[in-house]
Amino acid sequence: MDRYLIPPDTPSGLTQRDPSERLTFDGRKKLGNEYLEELTLRLRQLQELLYAEGKHRVLVLLQATDTGGKDGVIRHVFRSVNPQGVKVASFKAPSSRELAHDYLWRVHRETPAKGEIRIFNRSHYEDVLVVRVRELVPREVWERRYHHINEFERMLADEGTTILKFFLHISRDEQAARLTARLEDPEKHWKFDPRDIEDRKRWDAFHEAFEAMLDRTSTQWAPWYVVPSNSKWYRNLVVAETLVRTLESLDMRFPEADFDPKAFRVE
């Protein structure tokens, strides 16, 4: 999965990356889903260990174009974990109260505590994406935010947070198919936002902003992964395996009892 990692100070080459790539299992969905089942069970074990040990914090960021699959990743990759130790924060248009503070204020409040996995469905990167493309703030404002964000994430990492950032990469044609499916299915109408059509007209501008985000904010302490996401099962597989490998690298241990278990008997 390291092929999807953007090394620090390295161009992401987003436009050259194939969103339909499916290398694992030769692109065979059935085998991929079987392996995903194994990964989700392993993730449940690791999440329980993370919660029990209570030493590490894990932050997972999901960014994508509209219909990119953020909700799908949360639903499928984290389906087996204990919700007591995993929380999701969704960042939409800021409220008036949030706008009265700096743009990172609402984000910092949602970062994980020790023993937690916190998932950001969208994130502080909206403030170098949407605000840039829709010209909500001047260039000099969003331009300096790359530095702010890098230093904010460095502080989180220095304080013990493991940060994983996933950009779910889909093609323009795949987005069209997914938007059309939402319009044709009454049970998916609630997921459709007319503004998605307007943003679709800005496809090139958004991808220019995404590429700048990846190029300028993939750091040693908070790396970006560009996940091929036209195939939903492969997208889930890449995210799940990266999470499992990262959690295993933390070398966690269940805490030792502060009493002698042999001294007690349940009658």
Mean pLDDT score of the chain:
94
The HSE-up count of residue 59 (CA atoms within 13 Å, CB side) is 29
| DSSP codes, 166-215 | EEEE--HHHHHHHHHHHHH-GGGGGG--THHHHHHTTHHHHHHHHHHHHH
Q: List pLDDT tens digits, range 85-100.
A: 999 999 988 899 999 9
Q: Yes or no: is domain 2-252 CATH 3.60.15.10? A: no
Closest CA to 231 of 31, 68, 84: 68
Tokens of 39: 């990964």
Cβ neighbour number for residue 262 with a 10 Å cutoff: 6
Backbone angles phi and psi of 187, in degrees to 5: -75, -5
Predicted pLDDT at 264: 84
Residue 140 pLDDT > 90:
yes
Q: Model's pTM, two decimal places?
A: 0.94
Distance separating alpha carbons of residues 43 and 243, to the nearest angstrom: 8
Predicted pLDDT at 193: 85
pLDDT band at 117 (very low <50, low <70, confident <90, very high): very high
Domain spans, the chain: 2-252
Distance separating alpha carbons of residues 17 and 224, to the nearest angstrom: 14
Residue 26 pLDDT > 80:
no
Distance separating alpha carbons of residues 158 and 256, to the nearest angstrom: 26
pLDDT band at 260 (very low <50, low <70, confident <90, very high): confident
Tokens of 10: 């390295």
Residue 66 pLDDT > 80:
yes
Residue 191 pLDDT > 90:
no
3-state helix, strand and coil shares in percent for the chain, rounded to the nearest 5: 50, 15, 35
Predicted pLDDT at 258: 81
Predicted pLDDT at 28: 87
Cβ neighbour number for residue 192 with a 10 Å cutoff: 16
pLDDT band at 195 (very low <50, low <70, confident <90, very high): confident
Residue 21 pLDDT > 90:
yes
pLDDT band at 265 (very low <50, low <70, confident <90, very high): confident
Predicted pLDDT at 141: 96
38-64: average pLDDT: 97
**Any idea what DSSP says for residue 54?**
-
pLDDT band at 252 (very low <50, low <70, confident <90, very high): very high
Predicted pLDDT at 93: 86
Predicted pLDDT at 218: 98
**Helix or strand (DSSP H, E) at 36:** helix 29-53
Q: List pLDDT tens digits, range 213-229.
A: 999 999 999 999 999 99
Distance separating alpha carbons of residues 83 and 248, to the nearest angstrom: 20
pLDDT band at 45 (very low <50, low <70, confident <90, very high): very high
